[in-house]
Structure 1
Amino acid sequence: MTLACVDIGSTFTKAALVDPVSGKLLATAQAPTTLDDVVAGVLAATAGFPEAPVIACSSAGGGLRLAVVGYEELISAEAGHRAALSAGARVVHVAAGVQDATGLAALRAAEPDVVLLVGGTDGGEASVLRANAAALASSARLQGPGASARVPGGSGVLPWSVPVVLAGNAAVRDEVAAVLRGGGLPVHEADNVLPDIGRLAPESARAAIRAVFLEHVIGGDRLSTDPRLRSWVRAVTPDAVLEGVTVLARVLAPAEVSVVALDVGGATTDVYCVPDPDAEQATLGREAVGVPARRRTVEGDLGVSWSVAALRAAAAAEGLPEPGDDPLTLGEAAAGVALRRHLRAEAAYGPGGASARSARLVVLSGGVFRHADPAAVDQVLARLAGDGGGAGSVLNGKAVLVDRRYVLAAIGLLSGDHPEAAVALARDLLRSPESVTPLAR
């Protein structure tokens, strides 16, 4: 038996044929992603593996767009933001406090696929959570042709409906869920992301966000009406890659090696930081919100095809040279900006937890690195290592591994039902000497 592990990206659909018992990589293939119906791209990528069942992850169309609405910015909204990133979502909007017509208009303009509604610790403040649930329900209640809904506290109208993951104060969960459903909103209930001050608990919300992704994005008609897509897709791609990086870190655990992975794609650039999974989390540096052991940032404006204009603007804002049209130079710019932003996000956590700067292995993924000449990649790495603005502190003196066969997503897809195969595939990746470049400077 073999399995086809497929990543449906915004530009290309990549497939890896794997033996789920031994974890041996048997073949790889790719095809352009067909955004009008992504199933066609999957069938093209797996045409050489006709007998292999497909398991897949997807970031097609930019992946899962998520908005966070919380009680106040520095505590519950920040906790929700971190929980959303841990779920592999692209956070497109964060709002705090009671949402009036202006706030809800901004929320709608962000075009999220799902809203993560949070607020209050368990048994604590509940008025803002109640008010925001009422506002969302009212904005959706009369949705339909020619319908409108008056937004509480405002004078505008905003007919709109979007799935909601409710992960706030558990003491009023049933009440708030009933209000949301009364407005016709699909609701997925989860445990509070911030059950107590200083304790971040994202796993339940993460599972609920994944369920929304599978039901409303994959199970809807945005990417395909073919029912096979729903049976194939197990996760959003950043979630699968995070699991793959986690398996890689587990393989390296005896040496206590933390791992940073940098995945440059057509629409987004994602940074993952995973410590030795057996290490104790360091003392939290920020009392209000806990520090997650695994950290990820998903940069929705940094991509080498769909987001080139935004990438150029982001590089200019960082004071970096304007990248040329060559994909590898665009990838270099995306990597540099993404690493700087990731380090700024880590600084906001305070000391504690994983640190990108302390990683001993950096993994580069994405087509711009995978298909480039190794000598050209070495030149890019040398320039990034000399970046005093942040990338250099991550890369300098570290071993750098290029995921040339693009197996990180496949490792993550295998990790649930075939953990031994996932570990074997991770070990095979680490045994690829041609992919490792020491930067001892």
Structure 2
Amino acid sequence: ILGEAGLTIPIVYAGNRSCQDEISQIFRKYGLNGWICDNVMPKLNQLKINSARDVIKNIFLNNIVSAKGIKKIEAEISGVLLPTPAAVLKAAELLSKGYLHESGLGEIVLLDIGGATTDVYSIASGHPLRPNAFLRGLEEPFAKRTVEGDLGMRFSALGILKNLSEEDLQLYLEQGIDLAAELEYRSRNVSDLPKSPREVEIDRVIGEICADMAFSRHVGTMETIYTPLGVMYYQTGKDLTNVHYVIGTGGVIIYDEHSKDILKKVVFNPAKPLELRPKDPLFMLDYDYILSAMGLLSFDHPEIALRIMKKRIGLIK
């Protein structure tokens, strides 16, 4: 069907290995831009995503970014060319796991709020911690990243507005903030930076909303089931209650003197009791905005990259 449709977009096959030869023949027959990678689910409820992730990264670099002149840069450099989110994920994984004799921080959550998206990274097993708890659905990867394209400080400000109820907006009005007007203004003036304490405060409120909503979509949930044998718990997604550190990056977090207020929005919330959020983490900040650079450096010098991160990414006082 895809072949007869005459599609020119990349098509990735990540299914059963036994079908790969047949799929490859179909790609050649119809002249499709086809890519084949390992099965993303080789066993029931077990994900194996690295091969597919690498293929998609190559497609991104080979096609999408060429329109921005990246190909010209690639021809002039000898180092690694990597999308920023992939570099941040690699840095976060290194910071969590450590390297050889240089210890890591353990399980972490990383929050990156930008103008267009809010990215959440969790480097943690996420396995059920509560007795009588069972995992429902797919086991999620140890290093997980989610991207919320409708939650951003400027370009995606209207996406935030669409996710807020009338009751939410009324609560902000009672606090003296016309949030609807503020979000609409920021969506039209994407280059604007806060110039007054009041504007900084409003940006902080928007950042808090992005953090809370994005983390709700990222974190796992627990459902209580009553059976004749007693109470059972079914977990969907990752349990992040015991995560050691929550790390912040992105402009609104780095440049706000009260950045901890934004990061606190990912911790356990009694209003959302089913969400398995961190209960007592420490908060850290990527003060120098180095995570993506350290992800690149880690390809050749992982121990140096790790030491730099441990020195420059510090606790928020």
Both proteins in one fold, TM over 0.5: yes
Asked if residue 425 in structure 1 is aligned to residue 308 in structure 2, the reply is yes
Distance 1:341 1:414 in 2: 30
Of 191, 209, 227 in structure 1, the residue corresponding to residue 38 of structure 2 is 191
Spell out the pairing of 1:331-410 with structure 2 (5 A cutoff): 331-344=207-220, 351=235, 355-372=239-256, 374=257, 376-381=258-263, 387-390=269-272, 394=277, 396-410=279-293
- TM-aligned CA distance change 1:256 to 1:236, over 3 Å: closer
Distance 2:24 2:74 in 1: 29
Tell me the SS of whatever aligns to 2:9: coil
Asked if residue 228 in structure 1 is aligned to residue 73 in structure 2, the reply is yes
- TM-aligned CA distance change 1:189 to 1:379, over 3 Å: closer
Q: Report deviation, 1:225.
A: 6.8
Q: Which residue in 2 is equivalent to 1:266?
A: 115
Spell out the pairing of 1:15-414 with structure 2 (5 A cutoff): 135-140=1-6, 160-218=7-65, 220-221=66-67, 223-224=68-69, 227-229=72-74, 231=77, 234-251=81-98, 257-275=106-124, 285-286=134-135, 289-316=138-165, 319=168, 323=179, 324=182, 326-344=202-220, 351=235, 355-372=239-256, 374=257, 376-381=258-263, 387-390=269-272, 394=277, 396-414=279-297
Residues 52-109 of structure 1: per-residue CA shift (max 9 Å, x gap) = xxxxxxxxxxxxxxxxxxxxxxxxxxxxxxxxxxxxxxxxxxxxxxxxxxxxxxxxxx
For the Cα contact (< 8 Å) 1:369–1:377, is it kept in 2?
yes
Q: Report deviation, 1:316.
A: 3.3
TM-score by length of 1: 0.54
Q: Which residue in 2 is equivalent to 1:111?
A: none
Distance 2:48 2:276 in 1: 30
Distance 1:270 1:280 in 2: 18
For the Cα contact (< 8 Å) 1:366–1:406, is it kept in 2?
yes
TM-score by length of 2: 0.73
Distance 1:306 1:396 in 2: 32
Aligned AA for 1:137? G
Q: Whose relative contact order is higher, 1 or 2, with alpha carbons under 8 Å and at least 6 apart?
A: 2
Tell me the SS of whatever aligns to 2:247: strand
Task: In structure 1, list runs of 5 or more residues that go unmatched.
Answer: 1-134, 141-159
- TM-aligned CA distance change 1:281 to 1:337, over 3 Å: closer
For the Cα contact (< 8 Å) 1:138–1:183, is it kept in 2?
yes
For the Cα contact (< 8 Å) 2:122–2:143, is it kept in 1?
yes
For the Cα contact (< 8 Å) 2:268–2:277, is it kept in 1?
no
Spell out the pairing of 1:430-441 with structure 2 (5 A cutoff): 430=313, 432=314, 435-437=315-317
For the Cα contact (< 8 Å) 1:271–1:338, is it kept in 2?
yes
For the Cα contact (< 8 Å) 1:273–1:295, is it kept in 2?
yes
Tell me how many residue pairs correspond in the alignment: 272
Task: In structure 2, list runs of 5 or more residues that go unmatched.
Answer: 173-178, 184-201, 224-233
For the Cα contact (< 8 Å) 2:121–2:145, is it kept in 1?
yes
